[in-house]
């Protein structure tokens, strides 16, 4: 069924068992992003030390796609430096814009290639991107802080 | 004539197609927009192919025909809601209708009955669609007027217990929805209209969810202004209506200015045409207005009372069937008393977006989210809901398909 390409097991697994959920007390930037069309929301705390993401925690409510996506993002980005993070974020954004024509680069995205199926459902792409846009925003704010 | 959904569906070409790999279309999103019968599609097409010209302007036969068709649509709309023809203003949407009213009031100068100051108040309700909240909220900000509102009770009704404290001698406007687009609640208007008129306030009714589904007569309701959109009433998009009592429309300053809303113009000044032209600047959405006329003729031929009765028994059936699903919570009145055919719900442990996606894979079209009523979602303490809304072309098979799909979603997402 077409639906199974959207709801991959690894996605539903992250939804049921979210990683790094629960906000840290300290952070270099905190952002709150909302999907205005459906009300899904994510608060994301980011700590960057010496150009490396040392902590990324979040809290939120929303659909399986938005929540699993931010869970996987936190798994992928913790301990990466900002250049590495940039490559991962761009790769994921490209995958989401692919309208089902790309299967994603497993070398870069690891389990997050499971979201390839989401790109076939235009109304769900912004669900998958919610946490990633929040991270981008937080990274910019963190860099602003350190200057 | 007996009410036959089978026959009615034949009038709507969209039901001839299938979706999601050959599945029957179960369209339960009429609260967002209704499907269109051939009568409406053809009326627009005929206007463009046979009569197209700018209304109220050209000195030629086509302009006469276009004007007749456009003004004919106005007459149909007026009759449909029990109004006079010159009280019907065509807009592009209900949202524009309400904004027109709010901005026109904002243009009122001191001495005009609509002029607002910081001494005045505007009253809304917690269950308003954004379109009947934000224009008033912003008008209050611009003028310094106070914004007050009726709260919603736990059983999804308006809390009118403090009506005399909410609508006060300072109140100038009471803006309220006839039927909630989320809860389905049909609001009682009598006490509100009585109290508002006691203190000299005008009542603005958002009738988007009522005019398409029941007999609405502005004289009987006693309200002062009423707004609705065409596309929720099997009419085209791009046409809405603002109705107001003639005397009030006379006193209301214009909002949009420009061509065809004037009697005389100099380089430094202009005077306004009579209503409704005063509020219809520019070349209007003519084919869409004509299409709305065709839509109302179509609905009238079936009968608004028959449509309402059909939807009422369908709601009865749907509430019983849906309440029997384990883990479901209906957000809105649990009984069929004073409620329309809109049923919002949540399913334990499954986000509405995921419910919507699964039921869509089964051919069932619903809406998910906060339905442009964010404050209401917050007060009902739900981030989002799934909403099924029914219309004249839905029947019990559609309800059964929805129930089956929701149970399927529970199985699908319960795998882990």
Domain-wise residue ranges, chain A: 2-146
Mean pLDDT score of chain B: 96
Q: How far is CA B102 from CA B137, B225, B255, in A?
A: 10, 11, 9
Which helix (H) or strand (E) covers residue B204, if one does? strand B202-206
Distance, in Å, from the CA atom of B177 to the CA atom of B128, rounded to the nearest integer, reads: 6
Determine the pLDDT at residue B415. Answer: 66
Whether the CB-CB separation of B331 and B385 falls below 8 Å is answered with yes
Domain B41-300: state its class: alpha beta
Dihedral, CA of residue B82, residue B84, residue B199 and residue B117, to nearest 10: 130
Dihedral, CA of residue B126, residue B102, residue B226 and residue B45, to nearest 10: -110
pTM (2 d.p.): 0.94
ipTM of this complex prediction, to 2 decimal places: 0.88
Using a CB–CB cutoff of 8 Å, tell me whether B368 touches chain A. Answer: yes
State pLDDT tens for residues B249-274.
Answer: 999 999 999 999 999 999 999 999 99
Does the pLDDT value for residue B329 go beyond 70? Answer: yes
3-class DSSP state for residue B179?
Answer: strand
State pLDDT tens for residues B103-138.
Answer: 999 999 999 999 999 999 999 999 999 999 999 999
Determine the pLDDT at residue A131. Answer: 97
pLDDT band at B414 (very low <50, low <70, confident <90, very high): confident
> For B368, which residue in chain A has the nearest alpha carbon?
A38
B2: burial class by Cβ within 10 Å (0-12, 13-18, 19+)?
exposed
State pLDDT tens for residues B27-54.
Answer: 999 999 999 999 999 999 999 999 999 9
Q: Which residues of A touch B354 (CB under 8 A)?
A: 7, 63-65
A93: Cβ–Cβ under 8 A, 6 or more apart, which residues?
A129, A132
Mean pLDDT score of chain A: 93
Distance, in Å, from the CA atom of B315 to the CA atom of B28, rounded to the nearest integer, reads: 12
State pLDDT tens for residues A10-64.
Answer: 999 999 999 999 999 999 999 999 988 777 899 999 999 999 999 999 999 999 9
Select from A3, A124, A127 the Cβ nearest to the Cβ of B358. A3
Determine the pLDDT at residue A123. Answer: 87
The CATH code of the domain at B5-30+303-413 is 3.90.1150.10
Q: Regarding the domain delimited by A2-146, which CATH topology (the fold level of the hierarchy) does it fall under?
A: Sufe protein. Chain: A (3.90.1010)
Does the pLDDT value for residue B68 go beyond 80? Answer: yes
Mean pLDDT, to the nearest integer, of B305-315?
A: 98
Does the pLDDT value for residue A114 go beyond 70? Answer: yes
Determine the pLDDT at residue B416. Answer: 54
Domain-wise residue ranges, chain B: 5-30+303-413, 41-300
Q: Which residues of B touch A63 (CB under 8 A)?
A: 351-354
Residue among A63, A65, A70, A117 with most chain B CBs within 10 A, to mutate: A63
% of chain B beyond a pLDDT of 70: 99
Select from B361, B369, B412 the Cβ nearest to the Cβ of A39. B369
Give the position of tokens 């559609």: B398
């Amino acid at each position: 069924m077409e639906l199974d390409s959207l709801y991959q097991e690894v996605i539903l697994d992250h939804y049921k068992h979210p990683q790094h959920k629960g906000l840290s007390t300290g952070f270099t930037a905190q952002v709150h992003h909302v999907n205005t069309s459906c009300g899904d929301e994510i608060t994301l705390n980011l700590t960057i030390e010496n150009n490396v993401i040392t902590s990324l925690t979040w809290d939120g409510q929303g659909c399986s796609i938005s929540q699993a996506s931010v869970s996987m993002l936190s798994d992928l980005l913790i301990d990466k430096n900002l250049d590495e993070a940039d490559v991962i974020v761009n790769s994921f954004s490209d995958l989401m814009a692919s309208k089902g024509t790309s299967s994603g680069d497993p070398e870069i995205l690891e389990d997050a290639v499971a979201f390839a199926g989401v790109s076939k459902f235009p109304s769900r792409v912004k669900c998958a991107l919610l946490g990633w846009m929040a991270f981008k925003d937080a990274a910019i704010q963190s860099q602003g802080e350190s200057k | 004539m007996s009410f036959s959904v089978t026959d009615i569906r034949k009038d709507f070409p969209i039901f001839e197609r299938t979706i999601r790999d050959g599945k029957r279309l179960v369209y339960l999103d009429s609260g967002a927009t209704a499907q269109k019968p051939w009568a409406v599609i053809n009326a627009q097409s005929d206007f463009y192919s046979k009569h197209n010209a700018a209304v109220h302007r050209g000195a030629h036969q086509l302009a006469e025909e276009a004007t007749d068709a456009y003004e004919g649509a106005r007459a149909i709309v007026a009759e449909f809601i029990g109004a006079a023809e010159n009280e019907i203003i065509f807009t592009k949407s209900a949202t524009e209708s309400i904004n027109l009213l709010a901005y026109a009031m904002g243009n009122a100068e001191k001495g005009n009955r609509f002029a607002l100051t910081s001494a005045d108040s505007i009253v809304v309700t917690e269950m308003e669609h954004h379109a009947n909240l934000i224009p008033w909220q912003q008008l209050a900000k611009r003028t310094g007027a106070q914004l007050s509102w009726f709260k919603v009770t736990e059983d999804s009704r308006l809390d009118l217990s403090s009506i005399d404290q909410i609508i006060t001698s300072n109140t100038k406007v009471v803006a309220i929805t006839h039927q909630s687009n989320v809860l389905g609640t049909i609001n009682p208007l009598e006490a509100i209209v009585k109290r508002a008129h006691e203190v000299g306030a005008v009542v603005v009714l958002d009738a988007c969810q009522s005019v398409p589904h029941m007999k609405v007569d502005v004289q009987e309701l006693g309200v002062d202004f009423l707004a609705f959109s065409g596309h929720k009433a099997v009419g085209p998009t791009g046409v809405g209506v603002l109705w107001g009592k003639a005397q009030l429309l006379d006193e209301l300053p214009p909002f949009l200015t420009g061509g065809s809303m004037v009697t005389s113009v100099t380089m430094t000044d202009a005077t306004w045409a009579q209503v409704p032209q005063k509020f219809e600047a520019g070349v209007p959405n003519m084919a869409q207005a004509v299409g709305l006329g065709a839509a109302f003729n179509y609905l009238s031929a079936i009968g608004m009372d028959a449509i309402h009765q059909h939807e009422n028994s369908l709601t009865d059936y749907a509430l019983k069937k849906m309440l029997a699903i384990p883990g479901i919570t209906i957000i809105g009145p649990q009984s069929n008393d004073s409620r329309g055919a809109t049923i919002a719900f949540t399913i334990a442990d499954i986000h509405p977006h995921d419910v919507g996606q699964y039921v869509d894979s089964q051919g069932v079209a619903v809406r998910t989210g906060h339905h442009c009523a964010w404050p209401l979602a917050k007060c009902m303490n739900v981030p989002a809901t799934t909403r099924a809304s029914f219309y004249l072309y839905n029947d019990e098979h559609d309800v059964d398909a929805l129930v089956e799909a929701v149970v399927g979603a529970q199985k699908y997402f319960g795998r882990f």
